[in-house]
Structure 1
């Protein structure tokens, strides 16, 4: 991530932490809300405008930079071995997912059939993995970055593909809290790259929304999974009727 992207992401977190919106920023900068959204999306915010926003947040620009640097030192992903150690221990896996999603000690103990001793043992294991700091009173301080992710193609992602994906897609996706969109079309290599960038921005928005709602009581928040995937791919469904070289082409 570039320094500009990191700085703007940090600014977004500061805005969310104070309950401020694009509409607030628009009024501070005397711009339309659409213009502000475009500035953030394109990451074209001048230093003068950044300082004006910081002023409204009672934040020095140097403090914003410091917050960005602190975030950069937080854990963004685990090593292959660390992920494997989590996958190999179902109890540890459960507690890891809980703390990454902001559960407190008592919430883990209350929601799952784990004793206090079991919770403590697994939290200490996560502390050794540097995911958290376990503080006095069983308070949990996460050490993961806002954009923390499981390793692409790593043990946890493979575990999802092997065991969870089938269960996840075993749904009609017609409930109020469900949605399935399947898209199919023809894209150039450049178009594919652009679409992947759009997907990443959407993933960032998902993380931002989770962070924004992290202050809500746990009983008002629910486990939610969103799968974003794209693949230059041709189904074998029509392969037998394709002509010659088109059998190995990238056509639909």
Structure 2
């Protein structure tokens, strides 16, 4: 049985214990062992089949019931708590660190970003304090989620997307705009920028979005293939900034677009 499956079973068992209002002391009495032993069994210690059957007896369920509950639990959408969202919104560097933990160890992150041990400790303590990471018995650190939860529409989403859009705009200003107005020697690859206010039905807008996404997905697949198969010296970084929205024709915010070249005022 793989580690992920075992952890799912343990999670279901813990939920059942809570529902039955059974403490670890109760389980210890039933298993004729100590409370620390129960904590290890339901923590990082290997869960043997004999122990699993004993826990099933205590909870009055069978292995089929556990399997069904495990599937139901695995379908649940993981979410940040409100407190976690507020913490990560105020400390976006901790969000960045958490994202990297899904694929890298603290040691790898420290090496990549030249972090001191003190900084690494601060990141891990802050994330652990907010229940965003877990540390097992072997002192291995991993996120408290199977995958990064959705940012949804709370304070974290607002902080992240505002920062992401602002940074993207800054990148465009610093790197792309200069190439747009620089002299073209005839050797440069295609470049461009466009903002269009197009009056159209909502159905046509949705059709456009669908076709655009299909085209972009094909481009991403091609890029993935080329990155693995083409010589490194032939590869470039294609930066694609996309944004779409639809608003009412009398939306006041449209005035921003008409003032891009300057505002006509009484002088």
Return the TM-score normalized by structure 2. Answer: 0.41
Return the TM-score normalized by structure 1. Answer: 0.42
